[in-house]
Amino acid sequence: MCGIAGIMTADGSPPSEPVLERLADALAHRGPDGRGRHMADGVGMVQTRLAIIDLETGDQPIYAPAGAADAAAIVANAEIYNYVELRADLAGAEFTTRSDCEPALHLYLRHGLDFTGLLRGMYAIAIHDRARNRLVLARDPFGIKPLYYTESAGRFAFASEPQALLKADLAARALRTESRDELFQLQFTCGRRTAFKGIQRLLPGETIVVERGHVVKRRRRKALPDGAPEAWGAAEAGRRLADALTDSVTVHQRSDVPYGMFLSGGVDSSALLALMRELNDEPVHAFCAGFSAPGVADERDHARVVAEAAGARFEAVEFAEDDFWRLLPAVAAAMDDPAADYALLPSYKLARLAREAGLKVILTGEGGDELFAGYGRYRRNARWRLFGGRPMRSRGAFDGMDVLRTYPGNWRAGIGMAEVAEKRPGRTRLQVAQAVDCTDWLPHDLLAKLDRCLMAHGVEGRTPFLDPKVAEVAFRLPDRLKVRRGLGKWLLRRFVKRRLPSARPFSRKRGFTVPVAGWIAGRGRDLGPLVARQPGVREACRPGAVEDLFAGSGKRQGRAAWNLLFFALWHRTHIEGLAPEGDVFETLASKT
C-alpha cells in the first residue's frame, strides 16, 4: 500500500523533476518505507511505499522484463489478494519481484485494458505503456483506493490525494460551489467532480487511457452483479455466504507484516472476528473506541465480551471531548476529499493506536450494511408513503434552517442520477437502494474516511465484505434473507449467531453515534462567532445565522453545526492553504 502520482506532458517533454518531488513529498505519509520514480517519453511517475508484501524486492516502479516487446512500467497503490493464484496462472511470465502488484503488469501486457477483470483486491494503478505511448489508470470496482486527476492544455497529472496536486501547483485551490452544497446537505459529495474546480475522481471500477496529456478512452467494471435476486433458500444461501466470507477473509489476511482488526461488537465486525479466529493460530488483535458522554451508546463493554469469547487480544480507547477539540483540525486536514462523517474522529484515533501497537494492516467491516441491507433507510424506502415510507436522503441537513444565503436547490442531483442509473431490469427496490449507496455514499464517504484516517498514520485498511465473491452472493440474496422482522442483515446475523453467539447479533443495538452535537452545543456561543467569520462560511451563510445556529440545540441543529464546523476547518486548510494551528479554537482564531 502506498501513494502514487504522475504527469504526462502533451508534447512529450520531460516532466519537471521538482514538481514530481513535491508530489512525492505530499504523499510521504501514505508510504513511509520507501520512494521510487519512473521517467521516460514525457511521463514521470512517483510512488511512496508502505511495505506490506514482499518487503525486500517489492519496491516500485516495477518494469516489464528487459527486452520485452511491450516495454511498460507500473506504480500501484494496491493489494491484489489473488496474486498467488495469478502468478500460477501466468505461465511463462518472467517475474522480477514477489510483489502482489507485479501480476497486474503482466496481465496488462497480455490482455490490454481487460486486465482489471482478473484482479481481486483494492487498487489504484498507473501503467506507462511505452510501446503504445500511453498512460493507463485503473481503480477497483468499489472505489476502496482513491485516485484523482487534472487535465490542462499542456499536461495530465494524477495523484492518490487531491492535496498532492494542490501542493505541486498542478491544480488551483478553487472551490466548486455545487460540491460545497452537496457537502452541506449530504455530508459527502457525488460523482466524478470533486470539491476542487479542475480536479476529478477516477470513478470506482473505471479504467482510462491518456495519450498526449488527454483522456482518450474510458471503460468501467461494475462492482455489483445485474439481475434479480436468486431463488435461494436459507440453507443454500447460508452455505454460499459462509464459503464466500471464509475465502475473502483468508485472502485479505495475506500479509508479510502483523495485522489486526477494528471491533465494535456489531454484526459486521463480529462476523470478521469469528472467521479470523478460525483462520489464525495466534489471538486476533482487536481495537475498539468508545465514548463516556451521557446518552451515547458505548460499545467497549460489549466488544470486550465478544473479544474474550473469541480469545482475541483486546485494546479499547476512549474518544473524549478533549480529543474532539484537539484532533478535529488534523482530521479535517487529512480529509482533502471532504466527508463530514462523525466516524472520522474515532477512526483517526484508532488508526494511531494500531500503528503504535506495531500494526500496518487492519481489517474492517465497511460494506456490510450496504451489501446485506443493514440501514433503516432501506426499509423506509421500500414502504409505501401511506405507511411511513420515504425516499433515501430526501431531506438535506440545512433544509428549513434559514442559514444559507441561497438554498442549494440542486444538491440532490448526483443522488438522483445514481437512482436512475441503478434501476436496472430485474432489481428489487431494495437492491436499487443498496446500489445507490454503493455508487456515492460508500466510496466518497465511508471508504474515503477509512483511507485518509488510516493512511494518515501509515496503516492500511482492508475490507473483506467488499470482495467480488462476497458481493456476488450478498447482493443476489432474496430480499427476505436480507430483511426479516424489521431487521436488516438477517442472513449475516444468523451466520454470526452460529459462530460467535456472544455477539448477540439479533439484539437491537443503538446506532454508532459520536456525541459531537452535545460537545458543540456546550461551547456553541464561543464557537459560533469563530466559525461565522471564516471566509468559506461567510460566503455561504447569512449574517448572524451561524451564531444563532451554534447557540441553539437539538439534533438537526447539531448536525448542521457540525457540517459547518468541519467545512470551516477543511476550507481553511485546503482552499486557503493554511495549516492547522493547535486545537479547534486556536486554529479558527488564527489569522495566518
Q: Which of 119, 84, 111 is nearest to 98 (CA)?
A: 84
In the predicted model, what is the mean pLDDT of residues 505-518?
80
Listed range (75-84, 376-385, 463-472, 574-583) with the worst mean pLDDT = 376-385
This prediction has a pTM of: 0.96
Angle between helices 321-334 and 344-356 in degrees, nearest 10: 90
More confident residue, 512 or 475: 475
Q: What percent of the chain has pLDDT over 90?
A: 86
Question: In this model, does residue 25 exceed pLDDT 90?
Answer: yes
Q: What is the pLDDT of residues 169-199, one digit of tens each?
A: 999 999 999 999 999 999 999 999 999 999 9
Q: What is the pLDDT of residues 295-329, one digit of tens each?
A: 777 889 999 999 999 999 999 999 999 999 999 99
Order of all β-strands in the sheet with 148-151: 34-40, 43-49, 2-9, 155-159, 148-151, 200-201
CA separation for the pair 84, 247 (Å, rounded): 14
234-375+454-503: in CATH 3.90.180.10:
no
Q: What is the pLDDT of residues 418-446, one digit of tens each?
A: 999 999 999 999 999 999 999 999 999 99
The residues of the chain that CATH labels 3.60.20.10 are 2-220
pLDDT, the chain, mean: 93
In the predicted model, what is the mean pLDDT of residues 339-358?
95
Question: How many angstroms separate the most distant Cα atoms in the chain?
Answer: 70
**∠ Cα 330 19 39 (to 5°):** 125
Question: In this model, does residue 1 exceed pLDDT 80?
Answer: no
Terminal C-alpha separation, the chain: 35
CA separation for the pair 129, 113 (Å, rounded): 11
Residue 55 pLDDT: 59
Residue 381 pLDDT: 86
Residue 101: all three cell numbers together: 502488484
The residues of the chain that CATH labels 3.40.50.620 are 234-375+454-503
Output the CATH code of domain 2-220. 3.60.20.10
In the predicted model, what is the mean pLDDT of residues 360-372?
96
Residue 294 pLDDT: 75
Per-residue pLDDT band at 257 (split at 50, 70, 90): confident
Cβ-based burial of 236 (10 A; exposed 0-12, middle 13-18, buried ≥19): exposed
Half-sphere CA count of 335, side-chain side, radius 13 A: 36
